[in-house]
């Protein structure tokens, strides 16, 4: 009986996920379709063409984000767990987020040390990108994004700090709630939900402090893996 109940619950989660994904991805798809249709017009000015292309690409990115963030909940446990070099992981995430930072005139200041944690690289990337993206979006007209690490006993601390808009206490308490967004049509309200879930999957913790017009501080702590040199060599070999 127990088994059947568990299976029924899982089915319910999956069917809820499926309907949420299809509902939310339909919107960006419809927008892209509309713009592609308009672009069939042969006498469309080049500026219009460029504008429609940009909107279409943004909407496809949005659909991709929605699917990726939802899928965090579809997989019961990560599949490709390995020992991750946190310095490499953070540097990769910063590389990816840099164009967005440049667009907002945001400077990225780092103080990152070599350290190791266990997890799935793709999921950790998604978590880091969701958080840093929010930070940069909270600094639309310049600011500084600080990323630093610190080893504390058996934990690795990752601190991500922005000098952005900050959040009210009410907003802070709703952070991670599905669909909670203050970005209107530009937001999905799924990024922090997925980020928090990923940290949980890695047996980590996250603390968030925020002050309106001062900024927000994300403190992630993950269980540290202390490994000998041979193992490092084995896991960093390409
Ligand atoms: P989205 O970014 O699509 O709105 P998220 O789940 O990533 O969804 O974030 C939810 C909300 O939390 C944001 O809309 C914003 O109001 C708030 N938030 C998240 N990170 C920050 C931050 N670094 N600074 C200020 N507000 C933030
Ligand atoms: Mg976000």
**What ipTM was estimated for this complex?**
0.99
pLDDT classification of 37: cutoffs 50, 70, 90: very high
- Nearest ligand to residue 164 Cα: 1
Write down the pTM of the prediction. Answer: 0.87
Angle between helices 121-137 and 86-103 (to 10 degrees): 30
Q: 217: closest CA among 157, 163, 178, 142?
A: 163
pLDDT tens across 151-165, in order? 999 999 999 999 999
Asked if residue 165 lies in contact with residue 135, where contact means CB atoms within 8 angstroms, the answer is no
Beta carbon of 215 within 6 Å of any ligand 1 atom: no
pLDDT tens across 44-103, in order? 899 999 999 999 999 999 999 999 998 888 777 778 899 999 999 999 999 999 999 999
**For the residues 187-207, what does the mean pLDDT come to?**
94
> Which residue has its alpha carbon closest to ligand 1 atom 23?
135
Question: How far apart are the C-alpha atoms of 130 and 138, rounded to whole Å?
Answer: 12
- Taking the CA of residue 190 as reference, the ligand 1 atom at the shortest distance is 6
Q: CA-based angle 77:232:224, to the nearest 5?
A: 50
Question: How far apart are the C-alpha atoms of 128 and 89, rounded to whole Å?
Answer: 9
Residue the block writes with tokens 């990225």: 108
> CB-based contacts of 42: which residues, under 8 Å, 6+ apart?
none
Q: Any bridge partners for residue 108, and if so which? A: 145
- Taking the CA of residue 192 as reference, the ligand 1 atom at the shortest distance is 6
pLDDT classification of 19: cutoffs 50, 70, 90: confident
Beta carbon of 97 within 6 Å of any ligand 1 atom: no
């Amino acid at each position: 009986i127990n088994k059947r109940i568990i299976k029924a619950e899982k089915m319910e989660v999956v069917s809820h996920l499926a309907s949420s994904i299809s509902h939310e991805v339909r919107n960006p798809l419809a927008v892209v379709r509309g713009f592609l249709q308009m672009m069939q017009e042969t006498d469309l000015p080049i500026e219009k063409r460029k504008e429609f292309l940009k909107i279409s690409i943004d909407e496809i990115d949005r659909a991709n984000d929605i699917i990726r963030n939802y899928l965090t909940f579809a997989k019961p446990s990560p599949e490709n767990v390995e020992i991750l070099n946190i310095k490499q992981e953070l540097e990769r995430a910063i590389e990816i987020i840099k164009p967005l930072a440049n667009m907002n005139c945001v400077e990225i200041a780092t103080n990152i040390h070599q350290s190791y944690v266990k997890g799935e690289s793709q999921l950790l990337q998604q978590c880091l990108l969701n958080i840093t993206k929010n930070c940069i979006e909270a600094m639309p007209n310049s600011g500084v994004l600080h990323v630093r690490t610190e080893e504390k006993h058996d934990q690795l601390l990752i601190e991500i700090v922005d000098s952005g808009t900050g959040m009210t206490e009410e907003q802070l308490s709703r952070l991670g709630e599905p669909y909670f967004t203050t970005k209107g049509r530009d937001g999905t309200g799924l990024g922090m939900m997925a980020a928090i879930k990923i940290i949980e999957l890695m047996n980590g913790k996250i603390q968030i402090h925020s002050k309106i017009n001062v900024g927000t501080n994300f403190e992630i702590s993950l269980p540290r893996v202390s490994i000998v040199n041979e193992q490092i060599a084995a896991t960093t070999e390409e």
